[in-house]
Structure 1
Amino acid sequence: MRGERATLGKSLLDVQRELHIRATYIAAIESGDLSAFEAASFVAGYVRSYARYLGMDPDWSYAKFCAETGFAISSDLQRSTTSSPRIGAQPSTGDFSQGLLARTKMAEEPDPFWRRLDPVAMGSTAVMILLIAGLGFGGWTVLREVQRVNLAPADQPPSVLSDLDPITSGAAPRMAAIEEPSLRVGEARNTSNTNAQGVVRNYRPEALETPVVVSRDGPIAAINPRESEPSLDNSGISSAIEMALAEASTSAVSGESVRVTHDGPPEVEILAVRPSWIRVRAADGTVLFEKVLDAGERFRVPPSESPATLRAGNSGSVYMLVDGQPFGPTAPGAQVVDQIALSPEAVSERFTLADLSDDQALREFVNVAEAGTDALTQTD
């Protein structure tokens, strides 16, 4: 066979490419090496195919190969190849099952589907599905929370705090509730009836039923036309006109404006003659002011229905001014005082007028304040 292949000028690779048989099997057939074959059932087919390719008799070549290599198949297989089948004879099922197929090694049956499943791959797939489902559910939950609108019911329905119509009520109310956002610092103290936060009731002066008007001239009924006669002197008439115009301009500038409200309560101020820390709280506990006042610095207490309270350190340097009159100090020495009512009546009752001779710094600040007030009055 090797000689025939050489005569045809074919290499092992050419035979492999044309017969689709491995070159190692071709070389094993030519050398008679049976150990190169994986299964003995393929040897006969390979030998006959290779002999047919070289133009040799397949049966003679196979018999020669078996004689040289000692290769032999089962007797049943030899009997089936040598004996010709009878015409019209059908092989029985038992003979067929116990014949060639029973003694020839066949391909193994494929494993069932469940045996080919990998537990690791199934676990990874399950984890991936759970992760995708968790991410989807989390995103859907976040989207619902973002789009949700919560409406909280009010603790107390809105109501009219005061009636400001002077026609129906006769006069405007003395006090009105005004809510200042700048003073809404923290939650107010809880009461049994209300739950307001940071509400400061500022003072409003009561309106007068009849405006107070300062008349510039006397009543018309007091004019007696018989007491004065028309003068024929034109110079006197012109001088009288000039005097009337001068009086009118003077009275318009210096005259008092029409007042329609009563005077408000006296103003209360806090004066520090030396650096002092103070804290002013409203009646509901809201912090209105907290700072370290420098020497000569003042803080005007906003008027309210309920007086504010003062807590101060370095009490010997803190005074109260009621309409410019100094009262105090809050306490002698450098102490911490608390719960000092800052209404004009409470300050006047609790403290006495400050003695300017006892505190040089207080005297200087009061003199400066009075001088500034006098200068402002002269300028006006």
Structure 2
Amino acid sequence: MALDAGQAPDEFKAHPDWKDIAPSIAESVTLGDGLRRARESSGKSLADLSAETKVHSRFLTALEQNDWSSLPSRVFAIGYVRGYAAALGLDEQLAVERFKRDSPDTSAPLKAPIGIAFEDVKRYSPRIIAVVAVAALAIVGWNVFQRINLMKAPRASDIAAVPESWTLGDVPGQNGLIDLSAPRAAPLDQTTPALYITPGLEAQLTGIDPNDPAVLAATAAANNAPVQKAFNPRGAVYGAPATASQVVIQAKKAGALVVRLGDGQALFARQMAAGEAWRAPMGVSATIDVSDPAAFDVYLNGEHGGILPAVLTPLAQLNSRAEQAARQVAEDQARRVAQAQAVRAAQQAAQPAPPPVAATN
């Protein structure tokens, strides 16, 4: 790096090609004057320095004219000063220091001397503490005053006498204790609504009056079988349609249900959740395989028929039970109708014959 001493030995000055060295940057009035005088002494133009330093000539002109506002950010400006000084053989660090002195950095805020701010706080702290204490005492005193004003002295009740209904013991108008009977058994689970019969229609079709006490007694005597709980879907129902099935298997709790055909092929297989059901098709030879027979209810023709009898249950057995139950219901219905018709015929036979109507001339 070239030294910018500003002086040269006498033996160098005696040489015919000697040129006076440019004054030092430190001795120049401004940085721009020192850079301009050094460039003029070197015989270089701004265009030559711009090509050498790769800095635009307008930025080099701004440096020579001390026009710091035309320069880019401070980091780039310092780089331009360093490159300019290196191209002219000047001391780069000295040029940068001169630039920082001529163009101080104003971006950093000035800070107060250490100790002044603390002295201000220390000076006013007693006043601040006193104001805060007075405000706190005022708030506490106001709350205490409000509570004292709201306090009332205890006084006697306005009720002259205690009502009789408030006293413990017998209730007025009630002489003895209430006796409760034992709880009754819960009714049978039946969700199927009763069949609606148009008044008078049954009598016209069957010749039996459903309101006749004798008919009702005969029907009640014939219908002694209790009605079982009906099938109530509580989840997804798989399998055959409702019109093509007489057997429904419903899961009371989670369990596996697999239905296999005679050749071993699986007709239905699923891990059933509680409430899900499967309708068995009619006329299919298959075997029902379950993980737990007690976890599945069997419904025959819509009525509860117990649980599965075993882990492996032939489907034909359940369909046969359903058909037998359907035939039994049909036979019971026909028997009730026949009994009702017999009672009706007996009543009509017991009635006296109407007197003959006399012919009139």
Normalising by structure 1, we get a TM-score of: 0.19
